[in-house]
Amino acid sequence: MTDRTGTDTADALSCTGLAYSFGGARAVDGVDLTVAPGEVFGLLGPNGAGKTTAIRAITTLLPVPAGMVQVFGLDVARERMAVRRLLGYVPQQLSADANLTGRENVELFARVYDVPRRERAPRIVQALEAVGLGDAADRMAGTYSGGMVRRLELAQALVSAPRLLILDEPTIGLDPIARTSVWDRLTEVRAATGMTVLVTTHYMDEADQYCDRLALMHRGRVRALGTPGRLKAELADRRARSGEADGPAPTLEDVFRHFAGSGLTDEQAGGEFRDVRNTRRTASRVG
């Protein structure tokens, strides 16, 4: 039965036949997937696979013209505001203001998310502490390192105490230490709150290490779905069946190449202008 309060009986996220087109071009082409409460679920795929478009539909920022999306049992198309109250979203693009302090940035989001006035101050402190920015809270965000900016954006999304946190490329352009720091904070908050996490990443090591399950998208569709271990084991089985069992055990990158690599044309392999611009915008602010 559909659970309106977001408790145990509903999936954290369920997409059935989700499709979205830009003009005549199908960006998302019939995606079916479910994410269980408390899971860290990774959405992988090459540039242009349709990950961000799917996420925008899930977060109510795009309409759902075909198929059905439910967040904790609530229909995204019909109960937009109720869904938004359950969500935290960290987009690819910069969402922190360099001319505000860390605390002011988080406060702005607390207002946007309509966190009750009485709860705001403690919730802001808690969100900043949770991402390790307690001591830097009153510095201008423009003085933060790239990793600190990303953690600030995490705090902005956490201040509303989301049940489902959605992150689009949270570690893009960061050095390995800053990437680990973002994931460590995320892991701690998830363990403390039990929130569900949906994340896109191009870093296979992150997907392997931090995600409970993965969906690999290519050309708008889910091509493979499972735990990182299972996806690798299935590729090993395929190779064994086709007589290629002698090489090293497959990595997640091999799985990615198997499902997405061969299908890339030159134009798709580098993404489109929009994709490059987005990546550079993110990378330059953190550089």
Ligand X SMILES: Nc1ncnc2c1ncn2[C@@H]1O[C@H](COP(=O)(O)OP(=O)(O)OP(=O)(O)O)[C@@H](O)[C@H]1O
| Binding interface with ligand X (CB under 6 A) | 22, 27, 45, 47-53, 271-272, 274-275
The smaller minimum CB distance to ligand X, of residues 52 and 105, is found at 52
The smaller minimum CB distance to ligand X, of residues 54 and 154, is found at 54
The residues near 213 (Cβ < 8 Å, ≥ 6 apart) are 35, 39, 41, 42, 225, 226, 227
Cα–Cα nearest to 66, from 19, 26, 32, 34: 19
To the nearest whole angstrom, how small is the minimum distance from the Cβ of residue 175 to ligand X? 20
Q: What is the rounded CA–CA span in Å between residue 149 and residue 241?
A: 47
Cα–Cα nearest to 164, from 208, 199, 200: 199
Contact between residue 241 and residue 264 where contact means Cβ atoms under 8 Å apart: no
The smaller minimum CB distance to ligand X, of residues 94 and 100, is found at 94
The smaller minimum CB distance to ligand X, of residues 123 and 223, is found at 223
To the nearest whole angstrom, how small is the minimum distance from the Cβ of residue 269 to ligand X? 11
To the nearest whole angstrom, how small is the minimum distance from the Cβ of residue 169 to ligand X? 7
To the nearest whole angstrom, how small is the minimum distance from the Cβ of residue 72 to ligand X? 24
The smaller minimum CB distance to ligand X, of residues 80 and 281, is found at 281
- Other Cβ atoms less than 10 A from the Cβ of 10: the count is 21
To the nearest whole angstrom, how small is the minimum distance from the Cβ of residue 216 to ligand X? 11
Tokens in use for 283?
Answer: 């990378």
